A and B are shown apart, each in its own frame.
Chain A
Amino acid sequence: MNKLRSRRLRALLLPLAWGVFFLGAWEGLVRWRNIKPFLLPAPTAIWRELWKDKDRLFDNRQKTLFLTAARSTATNALAGLLIGIAVAVLAAMVAQRFSVVRDILKPISAAFNTMPIVALGPVFYNMLGATSDAARRVVVAMVAFFPVFVNLVSGLTQVDPVHQELMRSYAASDSAFLRKVRIPNALPFLMTGIRIAASLAVIAAVVVEYFGGKQNGLGARVASAMKLSQTPKAWGYIGVAILTGLAFYVSGLVLEALVLPWQTKRKLSDI
C-alpha cells in the first residue's frame, strides 16, 4: 500500500518538479543574459501581466483582458465542439446502418482531415460575416467532426464476432443488438474521439482568430499584442490559451471516466 502511494506521489511530483525547474531556468536565463522583454519576457513579467486581471475583475470601471478573451474563445470552442460531435454522431449512426453511406463518408472524411480546415477561416468570415462568431464555430465544428466520426464508426462496426453469434443465439432483434451491443461497444471509441476533438477544438478556435474577424478572442489578442510589441501580454494570452486547452482536455478525461465506469475502475487500479 505504501509502495502504491509513493508511486502515485512520484507520478504527480515528477512532472511538477520538472515544470518548476523549467520556469526557473527560463527566468534565470532571461535575467542572466539580460534578454529584452520584447524578445523573450521572463515568467515573472508574464505573471505580472496576468495578475492585473485580478484588479480589473473587482473594478467595475474596467473589463478583464485575459478572462474576457478566454471566455470568448472557449465559448466558440465549446459551441463548435458540441455541433461537431452532434453532427458526427448523427452521421456515424447513419453510416453504421448503411454500408453505402459508410463507403461514401469514410474517404471523404479522411480527405477532409488532411485539409488545414482553419485555413478556410477567411472563406467562412466572407460567407457568414466577420462580425459574428458563426464562422469560427463552423470551423471548430468541422475540425471536431473528423476524430469523433471516424472513431465512432469504427466502434459501431467492430463488434466482437462472439457477441454477434451470442445475440443471434438469443434471437435478439436488430434494435436490441444496437442498444445492448453496438452502442456500448462504441462508447470507448466515442470518448476517445471526443477527447481528441476537445483539444483540437481549442487549437482551431484560437488559430482561426489569426485570420480575421472580431478582435475579442485569445488568438486575435496574441496577434494584436505582438503587433504593439506588448510581448509579455502576448505571452499571457498564449498561457491562457494553453490553460483553456488543458481545461478542455481534462473535461474530456473526466467525462470519459464518468461514461466508462468499467474502464475507469481498471485504470485506477493500474496507477
Chain B
Amino acid sequence: MSGLIRRTARPGIVPVVAVEAVDKVFNPGKVNQVDALAGISLSVAPGEFVSLIGPSGCGKSTLLRLIADLSQPTAGTIRINNKTAHQARLDLDYGMAFQHAGLFDWRTVRRNVELPLELRGWDRSKRSERAAEMLSLVKLSDFASHYPWELSGGMQQRVAIARALAMDPPLLLMDEPFGALDEMTREHMQAELIRICSATGKTTIFVTHSIPEAVYLSNRVVVMSPRPGRITKVVDVALDTRSDEARQSAAFFAKITEVREALRAVERVDERVDERVDAVVDVGLGLEDR
C-alpha cells in the first residue's frame, strides 16, 4: 500500500476512472424529460482525490451513480481501470459510501463490515480478521460488537467507510458522506478520511455541497452547473499539508475563493433556482430502479 497521494492527473498513466462525453437523460421523450448531464468528460488518475461540487440538481450524484453502474448513461462511455463500469461493479472495483451510513440494524458493527466479504464467500476467520483490520483503520476496534444504534452519526459513517474499504477496492465513491454531520464532527471526519486515503492509496471521487470540504480534501475540485449538468471548471488544489493549520492558511482561502467564484459564475448563467428539476430527477432515479 502506497503512502503517497499523487497531486495531479499525470499524462501517460492509465486513469482509474475515464468518463468520456457522457450524457444522461431521464424520461427521454416524455413531458417530464430531464437532461441531467451533458457532455461530461473527466479522467481521474490513480491515487487522486477528486471532488464534485455544484448546486442542487447539477447532476453530481447522478454522475457518481453512473460511475458506480447504479444507472446507465444515455450516451458516452465510462471506463474504470480500463473495464466497463458494469464489469467494474461485478469485480467490486469500487467501494461506496452514501449520505446515510446505511448500516444494517440487525448486524453488529463487525458483521456490517463483513457483509461484502460474506457475499464473496470469504470464510469466517478471514472475514473477521479483515473486519478487525478495517475497524482499527477507522479507530472503532472497541465498538466491533456494538449495534449501529449505539453509535453516533460520525461513528456510523466511519463504519460505512470501513465497509466500503473491506474488499480493498482501488476506488472509493462517496456521495455526501458527511452531509448529515455537525461541523465539528465533519472536520474531524475529513481529517480521518485524508489519513485513511493516504494510508491505503485509494483513488476517491467525493460528492459534496461544501466548498471548504471540497478544497480541504481534494487534489482537484470539479465545479458543475445545472440543467443540464456540465463541468464548468476544474480547480487544481495543491495544499502542502492537511493539518488543522492548513484550514487557516492563505492558500486554503485562495482556493476557496476560486471555487466560490466558479460557482457564482454558474449562478449568473442560471439565475432561477428550480427545485422542481431536483424533484423530477429524484422521481427519475426512483423509476429507473424499479
Interface residues of B in 251-290 (CB under 8 A from A): 289
Q: Are B116 and A170 in contact (CB under 8 A)?
A: yes
B70 and A265 contact, CB distance less than 8 A? no
Residue in chain B with minimal CB distance to A181: B104
Task: State whether B70 touches A165 (Cβ < 8 A).
Answer: yes
Total chain A interface residues with beta-carbon distance under 8 A:
22
Determine if B119 and A262 form an interchain contact, defined as CB atoms under 8 angstroms apart: no
Segment with Cβ contacts to B, from A39-47, A77-85, A107-115, A156-164: A156-164
* Inter-chain contact A171/B70, CB cutoff 8 Å: no
Q: Which one of A162, A181, A185 has the highest number of Cβ atoms from chain B below 10 Å of its Cβ?
A: A162
Q: Give the size of the chain B interface in residues (CB under 8 angstroms).
A: 23
Contacts of A171 in B (CB 8 A): 89-90, 92
Instruction: Name the residue of chain B whose CB is nearest to the CB of A180.
Output: B115
Residue from A163, A169, A185 within 8 A of B70 (CB atoms): A169
| A interface SS class | helix
B147 touches A169 (CB 8 A): no
Contact B92 A170 (CB under 8 A): yes
A138 to B98, CA, bound (A): 48
The CB with the most chain B CB atoms within 10 A, among A160, A169, A180, A187, is that of A169
- In contact, B102 and A162 (Cβ under 8 angstroms): yes
Q: A154 to nearest B CB, angstroms?
A: 16
Q: Are A169 and B119 in contact (CB under 8 A)?
A: no
Instruction: A184 to B94: give the CA distance in the assembly, Å.
Output: 26
Q: For the complex, is B105 an interface residue (Cβ under 8 Å from A)?
A: yes
Bound form: Cα–Cα A180–B107 in Å: 10
Q: Chain B, 90-121, contact with A by CB distance < 8 Å: what is the 0/1 string?
A: 10101110101010111110000001101100
Nearest CB of chain A from residue B63's CB, rounded to whole Å: 15
Complex: A257 Cα to B242 Cα, angstroms: 47
The distance from the CB of B222 to the nearest CB of chain A, in whole angstroms, is 21
Least CB distance, A255 to chain B, in whole angstroms? 16
Q: For chain A residues 121-163, which have a beta carbon within 8 Å of chain B? A: 160-163
B 123-151 binary contact with A (CB < 8 Å = 1; else 0): 00000000000000000000000010100
Also in contact, A169 and B96, with CB within 8 A (given A164-B289, A265-B147): yes
Q: List 23 A-B contacts (CB under 8 A).
A: A162-B102, A163-B104, A164-B289, A165-B96, A166-B96, A166-B98, A166-B102, A168-B70, A168-B89, A169-B95, A170-B116, A176-B119, A180-B115, A180-B118, A180-B119, A184-B106, A185-B106, A262-B105, A262-B106, A262-B147, A262-B149, A266-B147, A266-B149
Q: A160-B100, A163-B102, A164-B289 are in contact. List 12 more A-B contacts (CB 8 A).
A: A165-B96, A165-B98, A166-B96, A168-B70, A168-B89, A169-B89, A169-B95, A170-B119, A180-B118, A180-B119, A262-B106, A266-B149
